[in-house]
Amino acid sequence: MDEQQLADIAAALYRLPLEEFVTARTAAAKAAAADSGRAPADDVRALPKPSAAAWAVNMLAVHRPGPLRELEELGALMRSAQGDLDAGALRSLAQERRQLLNRVMDAARTVAEEHGRKLSGAVATEVEQTLRAATVDEGAATAVRSGRLLRVLSADGVDSVDLHDAVAVPSVLTLPAVPAPEAVPASESGQASESGKVSESGKAVEAPGKSKGRATKAGTPAADAPAAASAEKPRLKAVRTERPAPTPSAVERAAARLAEAEEAARSAAEEARLRTAEFEEAEADMTRLGDEARSLRERLKVVDSQFEQARKRREATAAQKQLAARAAEKGQRAEVLARERVLRLRNTPD
């Protein structure tokens, strides 16, 4: 079984209701064993069960891909604005993202309930965190779109999203290439001018093919070398001890990242406020229901006491009823005997 076949099996499993996953995975492993042998069956059996939040995102990817596409397009615009160092556009797009996330979360709750599971507050928070990460990182967007997500994704707006063990069968995904690190300025890399370079320890190292006492330029006497070396010392010392001032582009890049971080902080604070309100509401409900439960328990004690009294009264009256029934039966027999005697006496001549 190749990777694409395994990915297709995984896609079929991760679109099922969460409670059916394990049973369906076992059945798929048995089918794979019958068709291809033990090794493919082990691969199917090794597919992890997704977390509740990852399952909800998978349901969105499979059954409501439209809202996810909108979110992915908005994320591309945000990344472009960050690349252009446009802090104003980032703030505007971040506000648009908040509104879009609310709509996508409504869709996530709806599709989850349609497939047998209601999202709790904690799971909904993790779903939104994952969707937010998909707008920050292109690789995270690809993982979300795959429909085979295994765990929650997280982004801080600065570093790329960690996708390790985040997707089932990731080898078949087309993930964006990791950008190469930025070039280090010559002053930071330890390189010196034409006559030499600076080693990692900060000492001057002569360029290949040159030695002490040689002329540094054509026609320059070797005796001038000490003076040239002394002239180099202040510059080499500066390279070793001083860092170059940030370039304007670095400052602008930091400002753009700051704008993204500020937006993430505002969103987190709003989320915390909502969760606090939900907690206070739940706590109030718990207090009200607790009071009601205590009242019912007290009422139950009274009813239990009345029931016990009624039971004892029933037992007592049952005995009295039995005695009265026997007395009534005895009286009826006495009445019959008395009537028979009266009849005999009437029928007997004097």
Judge if 67 and 151 occupy the same domain. Answer: yes
User: Residue 269 falls within a domain, yes or no?
Assistant: no
- Per residue in 218-256, pLDDT tens? 444 444 444 444 444 333 333 333 444 444 466 666 776
pLDDT at res. 23: 94
Give the CA-trace dihedral at 321, 324, 325, 329, to 10 degrees. 180
The predicted model gives 49-74 an average pLDDT of 93
Closest by alpha carbon to 195, among 245, 164, 233?
233
pLDDT at res. 158: 61
Q: Is the pLDDT of residue 53 over 80?
A: yes
Determine what percent of the chain is predicted with pLDDT higher than 70. 72
User: Residue 166 falls within a domain, yes or no?
Assistant: yes
pLDDT band at 87 (very low <50, low <70, confident <90, very high): confident
User: Residue 216 falls within a domain, yes or no?
Assistant: yes
User: Residue 251 falls within a domain, yes or no?
Assistant: no
Judge if 72 and 162 occupy the same domain. Answer: yes
pLDDT, averaged across the chain: 77
Query: The domain containing residue 27 runs over which residues?
Result: 3-172
The total of structural domains in the chain comes to: 2
User: Residue 84 falls within a domain, yes or no?
Assistant: yes
Taking CA 272 as the corner, what is the angle to CA 50 and CA 110, rounded to the nearest 5 degrees?
Answer: 45
Give the CA-trace dihedral at 140, 143, 149, 154, to 10 degrees. 0
User: Residue 232 falls within a domain, yes or no?
Assistant: yes
Distance, in Å, from the CA atom of 210 to the CA atom of 293, rounded to the nearest integer, reads 93
Of 82 and 225, which is predicted with more confidence? 82
pLDDT at res. 40: 85
Judge if 11 and 157 occupy the same domain. Answer: yes
Written as one letter, the residue type at 85 is L
pLDDT at res. 262: 72
Q: Is the pLDDT of residue 113 over 50?
A: yes
- Per residue in 184-227, pLDDT tens? 344 343 443 333 433 333 334 344 434 334 334 344 444 444 44
Judge if 132 and 190 occupy the same domain. Answer: no
